Homo-oligomer: A and B are copies of this chain.
Amino acid sequence: MTRSDGRTENQLRPVKFTRHFTMHAPGSVLVEFGKTRVLCTAMVEDAVPPHVKAANYQKKPEDREGWLSAEYGMLPSSTNTRKQRDKGGKVDGRSVEIQRLIGRSLRTIIDLAQIGERTLWLDCDVLQADGGTRTAAITGSYVALWDALLAMKEKGQLKYWPLIDSVSAVSVGVIGNAPMLDLCYEEDVRAETDMNVVMTGKGHFIEVQGTAEKAPFERKRLDELLDLAARGCTELCKLQKKALE
């Protein structure tokens, strides 16, 4: 079965990383998963949030750790129907959930003891949405993080290179009873089951988030989806490596 855009079931959309997309952030990557375009930037702040500060307080200066924090937003014009900007007090639950996921995923592959008492800010802003914005954001953030760490290295701000592994993410889903890789928006809406998987370059899992959108799913189906996701992440990992050459 071919898909609306001609892909096979286990094929990613065309993936593209444009490094140094903007000039102020030391890491600035425009990542594209087909028509989905997310600007991922990494900036360095010379301060840490209170809970890290408190933990550092009892350590020797040379042992004090840093932090990595992620934020996610969608431009009002990034979706088909205009998305209202956040204003005074309203909570966009979906954005909160996504930015927590991005932060957790990236913190798993970095040794925060190597960056000193600093915060790495990863901002993922969706310029154009067509499904899979959170997986594109994680995959692109890794590249932006790399570039920001390179800049820190040049300034002598790193003890050792802090990246332990790489990270990429992909969505998988079941449509018309068939598991498919990297859903675009039109597929995402029709999916019976939807799963986002975050993996390291070494092929281990960081996050598995599967949701029965329409109907609960069996263990066998879950296994198929995990296989498909692992395949997609392996490919994304290669593309990241190539972009960073």
Which residues of A come within 8 Å of B, CB atoms?
A: 22-25, 28, 35, 37, 39, 41, 43, 45, 71, 73, 75-80, 82, 85-91, 93-94, 96-97, 99-100, 104, 108-109, 121, 123, 125, 127-129, 165, 195, 199-200, 202, 204-212, 215-219, 222, 226, 230
Partner of A24, one of B41, B79, B208: B79
Point out the residues of chain B lying under 8 angstroms from A82, CB to CB.
25, 43, 45, 121, 123
Point out the residues of chain B lying under 8 angstroms from A129, CB to CB.
24
Bound-complex Cα distance A199 to B104 (A): 25
Q: Which residue of B lies closest to A207 (CB)?
A: B211
Known pairs A205-B222, A219-B205; A128 contacts B77 (CB<8 A): no
Bound-complex Cα distance A37 to B75 (A): 15
Do residues A85 and B73 form an inter-chain contact, with CB atoms below 8 A? yes
Do residues B22 and A78 form an inter-chain contact, with CB atoms below 8 A? yes
Point out the residues of chain B lying under 8 angstroms from A207, CB to CB.
209-212
Which one of A25, A165, A215 has the greatest number of beta carbons of chain B within 10 Å?
Answer: A25
Point out the residues of chain B lying under 8 angstroms from A41, CB to CB.
75-77
Closest 9 CB pairs of A and B: A88-B89, A204-B216, A41-B77, A89-B89, A208-B210, A25-B77, A93-B96, A22-B128, A76-B123
Do residues A205 and B217 form an inter-chain contact, with CB atoms below 8 A? yes
Point out the residues of chain B lying under 8 angstroms from A80, CB to CB.
24
A82 to chain B, nearest CB (A): 5
A198 to chain B, nearest CB (A): 9
Q: Which residue of B lies closest to A77 (CB)?
A: B41
A217 to chain B, nearest CB (A): 5
Point out the residues of chain B lying under 8 angstroms from A97, CB to CB.
93, 96-97, 100
Do residues A22 and B37 form an inter-chain contact, with CB atoms below 8 A? yes
Do residues B71 and A76 form an inter-chain contact, with CB atoms below 8 A? yes
A66 to chain B, nearest CB (A): 15
Bound-complex Cα distance A18 to B117 (A): 41
Bound-complex Cα distance A210 to B79 (A): 29
Bound-complex Cα distance A93 to B97 (A): 7
Do residues B127 and A39 form an inter-chain contact, with CB atoms below 8 A? yes
Do residues B226 and A230 form an inter-chain contact, with CB atoms below 8 A? no
Q: Which residue of B lies closest to A73 (CB)?
A: B85
